[in-house]
Amino acid sequence: MSSSPRKGRGATFNPDNRFLPSRVEREDDGWWQEIETTRLPTQIQQETPRTALSWNRSPDLGFDRSLNPYRGCEHGCIYCYARPSHAYWDLSPGLDFETRLIAKHGMADRLREELCKPGYVCRPINLSGNTDCYQPLEADYRTTRSLLDVLLECRHPVTLVTKSTLILRDRDLLAQMAERRLVRVFISLTTLDDDLKRTLEPRAASPTARLKVIRELGDCGIPVGVLVAPVIPAINDSEIERLLTAAASAGASSASWTLLRLPREVAPLFEAWLEAHYPARAAKVMSLIRQSRGGQNNDSRFGHRMQGDGLFVDMIAQRFRHAARRHGLSRRPDAGLDTGSFRPPLAQPDLFS
């Protein structure tokens, strides 16, 4: 199994699917001379979902429902907490997660059906609760835009998270929603270092491009917040103040942060990434992570998983709080969305209208 970096990909290998009853290990017997390609093509298959909305009861999240048009993500962010979910589809959370994608067909129709159900209570829906709804295949599938069409039609509020410039394509819809207090956008801003971005988030937009997105959406009257996520000890934590300065200069109105999470297969993938790109720093990075996670690679407890505990976390929180206050970046990014104007969409055309 190769563990060498591949151009344009974040993971260096495919860990075993944890649900498979058996595992296969390759051994070099000196006979087979296989030349592995350094480039892996992106493969896309379609799925017809039975429902559109995903529900959660996590007190760590600011929403209880989300829309996820795609499974897997071509951005290839090595730290992505959604990687382990690919195992549910008999795929690896490693390279498969960023090369073997699943596009959901008919999401807008499923959403209409669910919003029409008796007893549905309107609260903000989050777009990209799992993977980025504006990753590259959205340019062809346009599923995110179709979902925004439905939400605008029925006056349903939405929060949206992305690190892609493709969101600018939909500024017309987002501007109309902003006029009605129905949308708030969050841009994930992890680093200002282009070299770090190329290995950490290989197919995501550059830092400069993301700042441009903040500026252009703001010029359209669309409220934009920044997520400094994840903060990675000894990798990007030194950039916190500069990231907030750049975000505020671009017009961001709010900011928040989370500490790196390493659930399940993400931990070995991240450690392999460290050894490939930052071998001299790998031990220090993992030591600081474990100091912030009760001695483990990950702490999944509610109330702890997003920011951790300990002296390092306290220092990060204090630095972030002071920098955010200095730049006037509020801590209530979802306040003010209108849930009172919701009107259920028509499930089918009204013959008498």
Q: Which tokens is 10 given?
A: 């974040």
Give the per-residue pLDDT at 44: 97
Beta bridge partners of 42: none
Rounded average pLDDT over 267-283: 97
Phi, psi of 329 (to 5 degrees): -90, 110
Amino acid at 67: L
Q: What is the pLDDT of residues 23-36, one digit of tens each?
A: 666 666 666 655 55
pLDDT of residue 19: 81
Find the helix or strand (DSSP H, E) in which 115 lies: helix 107-115
Cβ neighbour number for residue 251 with a 10 Å cutoff: 16
Among 74, 196, 216, CA closest to 135? 74
Q: Under a CB-based contact definition with an 8 Å cutoff, are residues 212 and 247 in contact?
A: no
199-217 pLDDT, tens digit per residue, is: 999 999 999 999 999 999 9
DSSP class of residue 91 equals -
The mean pLDDT value for 241-268 works out to 97
Burial class (CB in 10 A: 0-12, 13-18, 19+), 213: buried
The reported pLDDT for the residue numbered 65 is: 96
Q: In Å, what is the CA distance from 247 to each residue of 199, 225, 333?
A: 22, 8, 14
CB burial class (10 A; 0-12, 13-18, 19+) of residue 133? buried
Instruction: Give the tens place of pLDDT for each residue, 304-350.
Output: 888 899 999 999 999 999 999 999 997 655 558 999 999 998 755 44
φ/ψ of 195, rounded to 5, equals -65, -45
Q: Which domains does the chain have, with CATH numbers?
A: 43-326 (3.80.30.30)
Residue 101 near residue 36 (C-beta atoms within 8 A): no
Beta-carbon contacts of 273 under 8 Å, excluding residues fewer than 6 positions away, are 10, 11, 12, 78, 199
For residue range 154-210, what is the model confidence (pLDDT) as tens digits? Answer: 999 999 999 999 999 999 999 999 999 999 999 999 999 999 999 999 999 999 999
**DSSP codes, 215-264:** HHHHHTT--EEEEEEEE-TTTTGGGHHHHHHHHHHHT--EEEEEE----T
CA proximity to 141, closest of 114, 163, 169, 122: 169
Residue with tokens 């306040």: 335
Contact 230, 260 (CB under 8 A): yes
Q: Take residue 84 and report the two structure tokens written for it.
A: 């382990």
Element counts in the chain: helices (H) and strands (E): 11, 10
How far is it, in rounded angstroms, from Cα 280 to Cα 274?
9
Give this prediction's pTM. Answer: 0.92
Do 133 and 174 meet the contact criterion of CB atoms below 8 Å apart? Answer: no
